[in-house]
Amino acid sequence: MQRELAIRNYSPMTVKSYLYGLREYFAFKKNAFEILDENNIRDFLLHCQKKNMSAESRNVFLNAIKFFYRNVMNVQQKVDIRVAKTGYSLPVVLSRNEIQSLLAAVKNSKHRLLLSLAYGAGLRVSEVIALRVQDVDLDEQTLHIKQAKGQKDRITVMPDKLVDDLRSVVAGKAKGDIVFASERGGKLTTRTAQKIFQNALQKAGIKKSATFHSLRHSFATHLLENGTDVRYVQELLGHQNIRTTQRYTQVTNPNLKRIQSPL
């Protein structure tokens, strides 16, 4: 299973999720793993649902099982089970004032720059910690994000006010060096970057259930509030489907915010 996923260039995160899902199914099935039993798969998914597992996780498990029988066991029988209906939730967005308070709460200059760049360029946590010196174009004020989600490259903007700080950070480094290297060398872990964000959130006294990804949500929302065309925002974020980007228009709808409650 792992070999077949690697051959098809699935991301490390997807490989990990699929292997975990398949192990869970095998633990439930107990034997005869090579035989596709659709009723057993349905029972397994119902078992997961009763354990209050999210629809998203159950769908990952189902896709892992389908992949195993189709591409590893070469079973031609179709698994005629539809994915679970997933809920819809709006992204948690920080206001401009909250962003300023968050950044002001960070005393470590490198950590503040990391969060500032994640917000100012709309980066995922995995993208900002993997950023290398050669990906930073100080003259053009752009960032080249390589092999991001979906194994795709994209170009995004670099905030003008961060140019000097970035120039100082990359000075003396080789082009292949990590911009935000850890104290022991190499890139920071995702967990470390998320902890930096959570500490800043707490120090700033912000009560929203925000995560590091909220910086990216805020980037998109604030661009739309500034009048940037949603198609350009889609390109900067690297969204394949514009509907993914359009959900931010619900957060930033000015007509909705102008409505006064009758109370």
Ranges of H-type helices in 105-241: 109-121, 125-130, 163-170, 190-203, 213-225, 230-237
Catalytic residue, from 154, 187, 216, 222: name it: 216
Catalytic residue, from 18, 69, 119, 248: name it: 248
Helix (H, G, I), strand (E, B) or coil at 155: strand
Catalytic residue, from 29, 144, 173, 213: name it: 213
Residue spans in the chain of domains classed CATH 1.10.150.130? 2-72
Q: What is the pLDDT of residue 26?
A: 96
Q: What is the pLDDT of residue 73?
A: 94
117 falls in which pLDDT band (50, 70, 90)?
A: very high
CATH number for the domain running over 2-72:
1.10.150.130
> Please, are residues 99 and 201 in contact by the beta-carbon 8 Å criterion?
no
- Residue 249 scores a pLDDT above 80: no
Catalytic residue, from 58, 111, 112, 239: name it: 239
Q: What is the pLDDT of residue 150?
A: 65
Q: What is the pLDDT of residue 241?
A: 80
Residue spans in the chain of domains classed CATH 1.10.443.10? 96-254
Q: What is the pLDDT of residue 212?
A: 95
Catalytic residue, from 47, 149, 203, 247: name it: 149
Q: Kindly report the number of other CB atoms within 10 A of residue 114's CB atom.
A: 26
Q: How would CATH label the architecture of 96-254? A: Orthogonal Bundle (1.10)
Q: What is the pLDDT of residue 255?
A: 66
Question: Which stretch, 62-66, 185-189, 227-231, has highest mean pLDDT?
Answer: 62-66
* Greatest distance between any 2 Cα atoms in the chain: 63
Catalytic, 47? Answer no
- Residue 253 scores a pLDDT above 70: no
Catalytic, 124? Answer yes
Catalytic, 216? Answer yes
Q: Which residues contact 232 (CB under 8 A, 6 or more apart)?
A: 223
- The stretch 19-42 carries a mean pLDDT of 95
For residues 60-82, one letter each, b for 16 or more C-beta atoms within 10 angstroms of the residue's C-beta and e for the rest, the string is: bbbbbbbbbbbeeeeeeeeeeee
Catalytic, 207? Answer no
User: How does pLDDT run across 128-163, given as a tens digit for each residue?
Assistant: 999 999 999 999 999 999 876 766 888 899 999 999
SS (H, E, C) 92-144: CCCCHHHHHHHHHCCCCHHHHHHHHHHHHHCCCHHHHHHCEHHHEECCCCEEE
User: How does pLDDT run across 213-226, given as a tens digit for each residue?
Assistant: 999 999 999 998 88
Catalytic, 213? Answer yes
- Residue 207 scores a pLDDT above 90: yes
Q: Which residues contact 43 (CB under 8 A, 6 or more apart)?
A: 28
